[in-house]
């Protein structure tokens, strides 16, 4: 699916629920009600958006280290391997997201785990799987950055 193939429903799902996701027993039903469609339609469109890679997951974002532990990590990846390594990193359920930066350490990601030992194992597994060093950058000071932003459609 290409961005120009998004329906108005897809656009609403991507824009309107970045914040204030309904915290109730049937959140998708509440979303569907506000969008004027059935719950099954919302679930199917979200599944398709995830399947095509336009979203990575639907779920809560908790403040760092409130439930388990988390860290910011970085890797120096040759340009020709960047997509491959990013896909390998993203395949770990402990990885929330990853992104490219213009720096020697050009692949950054956030990893979370129930405890420090589990987090260390994940970072070690990523290093072994990719053959690359993983720079662990644990949080010292807590800053809130709102990552929600209005998408513009052309």
Closest among 102, 126, 123, 100 to 113, alpha carbons compared: 123
pTM value? 0.61
Strand partners, 95: 111
For the cut 60, the answer to whether the pLDDT of residue 34 exceeds it is yes
Band (pLDDT 50/70/90 cuts) for residue 2 is low
Report the pLDDT averaged over residues 41-60.
88
74 within 8 A of 105, measured Cβ to Cβ: yes
Band (pLDDT 50/70/90 cuts) for residue 92 is very high
């Amino acid at each position: 699916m290409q961005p120009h193939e998004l329906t108005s429903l897809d656009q609403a799902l991507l824009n309107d629920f970045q914040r204030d996701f309904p915290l109730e027993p049937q959140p998708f039903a509440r979303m569907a009600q506000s969008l004027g469609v059935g719950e099954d339609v919302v679930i199917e469109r979200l599944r398709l958006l995830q399947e095509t890679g336009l979203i990575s997951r639907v779920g809560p974002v908790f403040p760092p280290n409130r439930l388990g532990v988390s860290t910011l990590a970085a890797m120096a990846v040759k340009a020709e391997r960047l997509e491959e390594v990013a896909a390998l990193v993203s395949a770990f359920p402990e990885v929330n997201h990853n992104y490219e930066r213009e720096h020697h350490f050009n692949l950054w990601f956030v990893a979370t785990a129930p405890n420090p030992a589990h987090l260390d194992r994940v970072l070690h597994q990523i290093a072994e799987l990719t053959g690359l060093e993983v720079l662990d950058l644990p949080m010292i000071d807590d800053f809130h950055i709102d990552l929600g932003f209005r998408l513009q459609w052309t």
